[in-house]
Amino acid sequence: MTSTSIALCTDLTRRYGEGDAAVDALRGVSVAFPRGEFATIMGPSGSGKSTLMHLMAGLDSPSGGSVVIDGTELSQLDDGRLTQLRRDKIGFIFQAFNLLPVLTAEENIVLPLSIAGRKPDRDWLETLIAAVGLGDRRTHRPSEMSGGQQQRVAVARALVTRPAVVFADEPTGNLDSRASADVLTLLRRAVDEFGQTVIMVTHDAEAAAVSDRIVELADGRIVDDRRVGQVAA
Amino acid sequence: MTRLTLKSLASRKLRTALTAMAVVLGVAMISGTYILTDTIDRAFGDIFQQAAEGVDVAVTPRQAVDNGVQETPMDAALLERVKAVPGVAEARGDVFRNVTVVDDENEPVSTGGVPTFVSSAAPGRFEAFDPVEGRLPRADGEIAVDKGTAEEQGFELGETVRVLGDDGIVPLRLVGIAKYGSVDSLAGATVVLTTLRRAQGLTGTEGKFDTIAAAGEGGTSAETLRDRVKAALRGAPVDVRTGEENAEADTKDTQEGLGFLRTALLIFGGIAVFVGAFVISNTFSITVAQRTGELALLRTLGASRRQVLRSVILEAALLGVGASILGLIGGLLVAPGIVLAFKAAGLDLPADDTVLLGRTVFVSLLVGIGVTVVASVAPALRATRVPPIAAMRAGVGLPVRSGRKRFVFAGLLAVVGMAAVLSGLFGGSEGGDAAGQLGLGAAVVFLAVALFSPQLVRPLARVVGAPFERLGLTGRLARENATRQPGRTAATAAALMIGLALVTFVSIFAAGFRASIDDIVDQQFAGELTVRNKDGFSPLPAATRGAVRAVPGVESATGVRFGMSLVNGDETVTFGVDPADLTKGYKLEWEEGDARTLAGMRGDETVVAAPWAKDEGVKVGDTLNVTTTTGEQRRLKVIGSIDEDESGLLGGGILVANDQMARHWDEQRDAFLFLTFADGAKPATVRAGIDRVLDDQFPVAESQDREEVKDAQAGQINQILYLFYALLALSIIVSLFGVVNTLTLSIHERTRELGMLRAIGTSRRQVRRTVRYEAAITAMIGAVLGLVLGIFFAWIVTQPLIDEGFAFELPVATMVGLFVLAALAGVVSAVLPARRAARVDILRALAYE
d(C-alpha B738, C-alpha B782), whole Å: 12
Residues 6+ apart with CB under 8 A from B453: B490, B491, B493, B494, B497, B781, B785
Pair type for strands B633-642 and B653-657:
unpaired
pLDDT tens-place string over residues A62-86? 999 999 999 999 988 988 899 999 9
Res B343: pLDDT: 66
- Pairing status of strand A213-218 against strand A38-42: parallel
Q: Looking at the complex, does the CB of residue B307 fall below 8 Å from at least one CB of chain A?
A: no
- pLDDT recorded at residue B362: 94
Segment of B51-65, B346-360, B795-809 carrying the highest mean pLDDT: B51-65
**Could you report the predicted ipTM of this complex, rounded to two decimals?**
0.88
pLDDT for residue A231 is more than 60? no
Q: Are strands B88-94 and B211-216 parallel, antiparallel or unpaired?
A: antiparallel
**Share of residues in chain B with pLDDT > 90 (%):** 47
Q: Kindly report the nearest CA distance between residue A230 and chain B, in angstroms.
A: 33
Band of pLDDT at residue B363, cut at 50, 70 and 90: very high
* Percent composition of chain B: helix, strand, coil (DSSP 3-state, to 5): 60, 15, 25
Q: Out of B472, B763, B848, whose CB is closest to A114?
A: B472
* Interface residue of B760, B770, B840 to substitute, partner A, most A CBs within 10 Å: B760
pLDDT in tens, A15-30: 988 888 888 999 999 9
- pTM of the predicted structure, to 2 decimals: 0.84
> Alpha-carbon torsion B756, B781, B449, B436, what sign?
positive
The answer to whether residue B630 scores a pLDDT higher than 70 is yes
pLDDT of amino acid B126: 85
Q: How far apart are CA B763 and CA B224, in angstroms?
A: 88
Please report the pLDDT score of residue B184 as a whole number. Answer: 66
**Using the beta-carbon criterion (under 8 Å), do A114 and B473 form an inter-chain contact?**
yes
Torsion sign (Cα): A202, A208, A212, A213: positive
Cβ of B614: how many Cβ atoms within 10 Å?
13
Distance between first and last Cα of chain B: 25
Give the H/E segment covering residue B312.
Answer: helix B305-344
CA–CA gap between residue B730 and residue B272 (Å, rounded): 6
Is the model's pLDDT at B271 over the cut of 70?
yes
Which pLDDT belongs to residue B353? Answer: 72
Indicate yes or no: CB of A157 within 8 angstroms of CB of B756: no
Q: Residue B379: is its pLDDT beyond 70? A: yes
Q: What is the pLDDT of residue B574?
A: 93
Nearest CB among B477, B755, B761 relative to A86 is that of: B761
| DSSP label at residue B159 | S
Distance (Å) of CA B799 to CA B518, B715, B794, B805, B806? 19, 25, 9, 10, 9
Most confident range (mean pLDDT) of B57-66, B215-224, B488-497 is: B488-497
DSSP conformation letters of B736-774: HHHHHHHHHHHHHHTHHHHHHHHHTT--HHHHHHHHHHH
Distance of alpha carbon B207 from alpha carbon B256, whole angstroms: 31
SS3 B711: helix
Cβ proximity of B164 and B97 under 8 Å: no
What pLDDT score was predicted for residue A219? 93
Q: What is the pLDDT of residue A2?
A: 45
Q: Report pLDDT digits (tens) over B615-628.
A: 889 999 999 999 98
Is B820 part of the contact surface with chain A (CB cutoff 8 Å)?
no
Residues of B in contact with A170 (CB under 8 A): none
Chain B residues near residue A87 by CB distance under 8 angstroms: 760-762
Name the 3-class secondary structure at B66: coil
Residue B731, min C-alpha distance to chain A (Å): 32
Residue A1: what pLDDT? 41
B81: contact with A, CB 8 A cutoff: no
CA dist list (Å): B803 to B359, B421, B512, B518, B548: 44, 19, 13, 17, 37
d(CA B411, CA B452) in angstroms, rounded, equals: 8
Q: CB–CB of A88/A116 below 8 Å?
A: yes
pLDDT of residue B849: 44
Model pLDDT for residues B681-724, shown as the tens digit of each residue: 899 999 999 999 999 889 889 999 989 989 988 888 888 888 88
Cβ-based contacts of B477 with chain A (< 8 Å): 100, 102-103
Instruction: Mark yes or no for CB contact B762/A87 under 8 Å.
Output: yes
Instruction: Taking residues A111-136, report their average pLDDT.
Output: 90
Higher pLDDT residue, A187 or B350? A187
**Average pLDDT, stretch B648-666?**
89
Per-residue buried b or exposed e for B56-95, using 16+ beta carbons within 10 Å of the residue's own CB: bbbbbbeebbebebbbbbbbbebbebbbebebbeebbbbb
At position B490, the amino acid (one-letter code) is: A
Is residue A34 within 8 Å of A5, Cβ to Cβ? yes
Higher pLDDT, B798 or A34: A34
The predicted pLDDT at position B347 comes to 60
Under 8 Å between Cβ of B273 and B730 = no
Q: Which of residues 13-42 of B touch A (CB under 8 A)?
A: none
pLDDT in tens, B141-150: 999 998 888 8
pLDDT at A230: 66
Candidates A81, A94, A166, A174: best to mutate against B (most CBs of B within 10 A) is A94
CB distance B761–A87 less than 8 Å? yes
Q: Model confidence over B390-434: pLDDT tens digits?
A: 766 555 555 555 677 888 888 999 999 999 888 888 877 766 778
Biggest CA–CA distance in chain B, Å, is 102
pLDDT, mean over chain B: 87
Number of residues assigned to chain B: 849
